[in-house]
Amino acid sequence: MSKLQESSLFQLTAARFRLFLREPEAIFWIFVFPILLAFGLGIAFRNRPADVLPVAATTPQLTQALAADKGLNAKTLNETDGGRELTIGAIQLLAIQTPQGVTYKYDDTNPDARIARMLADRDIQAAAGRKDPVSAQNSLVHEAGSRYIDFVVPGLLGMNLMGSAIWGLGFSIVEARQKKLLKRMVASPMPRWQYLMAFLLSRLIMLVIEVAAFLGFSRFVFGVPFHGSLWELGLLCILTSMAFSSLGLLIASRARTMEAASGLMNLAMLPMWILSGVFFSASRFPAVIQPFVHALPLTAAIDAFRGNMLQGMHLNQLIAPVAILLAWLVIPFMVALKIFRWR
């Protein structure tokens, strides 16, 4: 052994490296997580053709002119229906034929709407086939439902329900296991399913405060709309919270330390943070992984929230996301019931 290896500094440094390698959670967050995050965002914002923007016009002639542009998906709507679809974000722009020319109705705070306005005016001017341009005016709208804040609030709601359910339940179970509290319950006549179900039911009390505070703030400060039924939105929140609570029980059913539980929870939530469309549309990801993206519980929850809040959809119109959430509620709970470790 060399003098360097015999030195206390060398031995202490080597010991620190060995201790680090024994912590898989630290290795994951330092080396794996940045790579996965860069990979996911790189796929979402990869180089690709420009998005096709949905627009509408009040006359077939205007629709034909807009449809000639590959960057626009045009349809004909009357002014009333067009205004409604503009409000819920189904279209980015409505071209209205007037005696003086064309009026473009859109939200100038929306970048996609500004692009749609530029493309639409170019196409209509070209279709006019004359040197003097068609007279065009703007009718700016800032309707609730078509803004970015309206898009992102349902995503934040789903992400908040996921984090509070998984972290809240998972850490409680692992902490009780570390303190030998679960061991004492083994000798009691209490059925295992009742102990686990109590965690799910306890989430309902906090859920009311959690959802009411966040949605109330979003409504009164930013004017986020609630086009759908409030009681149906409440049912969706309960189902979402229960599904993520069930997933949290499964993750914590075998973990013995807080570090291991934290690593498993974050590993489970990482794909949903990136893929589920919290801050941008999940449609940005390639078609080959779309089935996996839509099978995630957070994707289903966000789709259901946006359908209810922004488009006024009822539960019978949200069968697919509701079914996915029900599956994530039942299957992880049954598996956790089978593999749960008391010690």
Q: Per residue in 221-244, pLDDT tens?
A: 778 888 888 899 989 998 998 899
How much is the pLDDT for 236? Answer: 93
User: When comparing pLDDT for 222 and 137, which is higher?
Assistant: 222
pLDDT bin (cut points 50, 70, 90) of residue 54 is: confident
Q: For residue 13, tell me if it sits in a domain.
A: no
- The answer to whether position 46 is within a domain reads no
Q: Are residues 158 and 240 in the same domain?
A: yes
Instruction: Please report whether residue 134 resides in a domain.
Output: yes
Question: Are residue 252 and residue 325 in the same domain, yes or no?
Answer: yes
Q: Are residues 60 and 155 located together in one domain of the fold? A: no
| 158 shares a domain with 122 | no
Residues 136 and 152 reside in one and the same domain: no
Q: In terms of domains, do 129 and 249 share one?
A: no
Same domain assignment for residues 89 and 154? no
The answer to whether residue 238 sits within a structural domain is: yes
> Could you tell me if 135 and 208 lie in one domain?
no
Of 101, 119, 140, which one is at a domain's C-terminal end? 140
Query: Is there a domain that residue 99 lies in?
Result: yes
Instruction: Answer with the one of 115, 140, 165 that is the final residue of a domain.
Output: 140
What was the pLDDT predicted at 183? 67
Q: In this structure, are 210 and 290 located in the same domain?
A: yes
Could you tell me if 81 and 169 lie in one domain?
no
Count of structural domains within the chain:
2
Q: Is position 30 within any domain? A: no
**Least confident residue range of 44-53, 191-200, 217-226, 233-242:** 44-53
Tokens 């996965």: give the residue. 36
Q: What is the percent of the chain with per-residue pLDDT over 90, rounded to a whole number?
A: 12
- Domain enclosing residue 180, as ranges: 148-339
43 contact partners, CB below 8 Å, separation of at least 6? 284, 285, 286
- Indicate if 123 and 153 belong to the same structural domain: no
106 in a structural domain:
yes
- Of 129-143, 189-203, 274-288, which gets the smallest average pLDDT? 129-143
Please give the pLDDT value at position 162: 87
CATH no. for residue 66?
Answer: 3.40.1710.10
Q: What is the pLDDT of residue 319?
A: 92
Chain Cα centroid distance, residue 33: 19
Average of pLDDT values for 168-182?
Answer: 75
Per-residue pLDDT, 222: 79
Mean pLDDT score, 280-309: 86
Give pLDDT, residue 38.
58
- 56-98 pLDDT, tens digit each: 999 998 999 888 888 888 999 998 888 878 866 678 889 999 8
Taking only the tens place, the pLDDT of each residue in 250-294 is 888 877 777 777 778 888 888 888 888 887 777 777 788 888 888
Q: What is the pLDDT of residue 331?
A: 92
